[in-house]
Amino acid sequence: MTVSDPLPDPRTHAYDPEGGWAEDTLRGLLPERDWTWVTARPARAGNARLSLRARPDALAPQVTEALPGEALEVLREEGGWARVRTLGDGYLGWARIAGVLLGDAPSGETLTVGALRAHAYAGPKVSQPLMAELCLGARLTRGAGEVVVESGRRWVPVTLPDGTGAWVGEGVLSPIPADDVADLALRLLGTPYVWGGRSAWGLDCSGLTGLAYGWAGRTLPRDADMQQAFLTPVEGARRGDLAFFPGHVGLMLDGRRMVHANATHMRVTVETLGEGDYGARLAESLTGFGRWTR
């Protein structure tokens, strides 16, 4: 590596010049020094959404979150925190070790939550205590036993990421049609804006676009600037394209209307570029459109 070579993106490549450690996949890509090389270990998020932060500090900004049961890598542990990577989009952050489950997922059939928001129960009845808060894309394992029918409701036995047994309504596992990424994004209208959020309980701008595209089987990088670099630039927008602004991204419904998670309204809303004060400001700051052509 020469002095002029750019360093790998620290959002997706784990290294700490001050601490002197780096993941072993970066050998030859970092300036020469006496690095301590670390090897990633398989892990997964626990029963709750796992907050990944910019630093090993509870008051540090959240940079993203891992969904229940989501596959992770652990690269380093420091004082109750773990440096982890979400395997789906390769994004790094610091998480409380208590929320990280080391090792592979439990054996058995993997079930993916298909509802925007849902809960797991202690028993096959809606009056039973809640065991976990679930969301679109959360991963569970099929539990032992048969489906139980109760008052016309069908309950499926599951194993939560930490190995605890629970029950979910069968409809929770029914997938939302994912042919139209714009349609899925519109289902999230009114969802609260949460910096670093990636679920229907709260999300940010690139969390919304990543969730919509990911459910359609099209994995996007985590941040807005990464998504813009990843997609093919186009002059005019059509439904499903992404619109980019400094530090922001939205999903186009047609040539002018856009659904986006924004801190102006603190929720997911629809705007028309060039219409009204906010729409005019968005149109003025537009840096381009991106289209999935892969």
Distance of alpha carbon 156 from alpha carbon 95, whole angstroms: 31
138: closest CA among 49, 216, 41? Answer: 49
Look at residue 123 and tell me if it is in a domain.
yes
Contact between residue 273 and residue 286 where contact means Cβ atoms under 8 Å apart: yes
* Domain-located, residue 52: yes
Residue 253 lies in a domain: yes
- Is residue 7 in a domain? no
> Model confidence over 111-138: pLDDT tens digits?
999 999 999 999 999 999 999 999 999 9
Helix, strand, or coil here: 173? helix
Give residue 294's pLDDT.
87
Domain of residue 251, CATH code? 3.90.1720.10
pLDDT at 4: 54
Name the domain boundary from 102, 130, 158. Answer: 102
CA atoms of 139 and 160, how far apart (whole Å) = 8
Asked if 89 and 135 sit in the same domain, the reply is no
Domain finish residue from 77, 102, 127: 102
276 and 187 together in one domain = yes
Q: 229 and 270 share a domain? A: yes
Q: What is the pLDDT of residue 177?
A: 83
59: left (phi over 0), alpha (psi -120 to 50) or beta: alpha
CA 5 to chain centre: 30
Q: What's the CATH number where 157 sits?
A: 2.30.30.40
Residue 25 lies in a domain: yes
If asked whether residues 187 and 278 sit together in one domain, one would say: yes
Residues 127 and 150 in one domain: yes
For residue 214, what are the domain limits? 181-291
Residues of the chain where predicted confidence (pLDDT) is lower than 50: 2-3
- Flag whether 158 is in a domain: yes
Q: Is residue 5 part of a domain?
A: no
Domain end among 134, 156, 173: 173
Residue 31 within a domain: yes
Q: Are residues 271 and 190 in the same domain?
A: yes
45 & 88 share domain: yes
User: What's the total number of domains in the chain?
Assistant: 3
Residue 116 and residue 137 in one domain: yes
- 190 with 258, same domain: the answer is yes
Q: What is the pLDDT of residue 24?
A: 96
pTM (predicted TM-score)? 0.94
